[in-house]
Amino acid sequence: MSDANSKPGQNAQFQASQLSSPMALPTAGGAAAGSGARPSVIQLVFREKSALYAAYIPAFAEGGLFVPTTRDYKLGEDIYLLLALPEDNQRYPVAGKVAWLTPANASGGRTQGVGVRFPGDEKTRLIRVRIEEILGTAISSSKPTQTL
């Protein structure tokens, strides 16, 4: 089931999808607010470096990604991401938390979705380093993104 907004031509090189079957997965610090619920599992596939640039959030100390979604989330809610990066065959699991929300019909034509903050563990630090290697000098570009 596709979870990305379906505006024509938008996010053509970037796909976010909610996995249909619940999985028992580790979380970053347990379930949100003691709800006992499992975190959402979202598969993110970045086919192009430009799509990864548009979604990456270097402003978060541990790094993070913007996830286009129409699903309602709350700040602090756990999200489990399965990342596929451009020109990289490996899948990277990240147990993150919702750190910001972009609502439907946001000003400036921003895409509805959530900003997911990466945890501060060593495994995820290595994923952040890999993302920054892929982005290279583009990370300091002034081109607009879906993030801050």
In this prediction, residue 67 carries a pLDDT of 94
Is CATH 3.40.50.720 correct for 40-139? no
pLDDT digits (tens, 9 = 90+) for 65-90: 999 999 999 999 999 999 999 988 89
Of 15, 60, 67, 11, the residue nearest 39 (C-alpha): 67
- pTM, entire model: 0.73
State how beta strands 14-18 and 91-102 pair: unpaired
In this prediction, residue 140 carries a pLDDT of 65
d(CA 53, CA 4): 17
* Sheet containing 91-102: order of strands: 14-18, 40-46, 78-84, 91-102, 113-117, 64-68
Residues of the chain short of pLDDT 70, as ranges, are 1-37, 140-148
Q: E-strand spans in the chain?
A: 14-18, 40-46, 64-68, 78-84, 91-102, 113-117
In this prediction, residue 65 carries a pLDDT of 95
Given a contact cutoff of 8 angstroms between Cβ atoms, the answer to whether 137 and 115 are in contact is: no
d(CA 36, CA 25): 13
Q: Cβ-count burial of 14 within 10 angstroms (0-12 exposed, 13-18 middle, 19+ buried)?
A: buried
In this prediction, residue 68 carries a pLDDT of 92
